[in-house]
Amino acid sequence: MVEVVSLGDGSMISPTHQLNVIGFFCPVPVAEAKKALLNMDAGQILEVLADDPETVHDMPLLTARGKNSILSIEEKAGELRFLIEVIE
């Protein structure tokens, strides 16, 4: 089961929420990220941890359609870390 975990208050640099979708493949990572972002407030930041290489293409498409912005995308040893800020 995929679960969004609140990390506390956070700041513009630190994520306020985390979504771990390691081991899940399309369309689960994007669908769960979309669901999580809909339940977040403006200024909050979602950290998405994924290992599906398709998310590199899919997450920017998700944010282009919504009121969110990708702050960074990092890759380390096949795992991806996205920081997505809720704009509105």
Q: Is 35 a known active-site residue?
A: no
From the candidates 5, 7, 22, 26, which is the catalytic residue? 26
Angle at 20 between CA 51 and CA 57, to 5 degrees: 45
Give backbone dihedrals phi and psi of 30, rounded to 5 degrees, phi first.
-70, -40
Alpha-carbon torsion, ordered 83, 9, 19, 73, to 10 deg:
10
The neighbour count for residue 85, using CB atoms within 10 Å, is 20
Residues labelled as active-site residues = 26
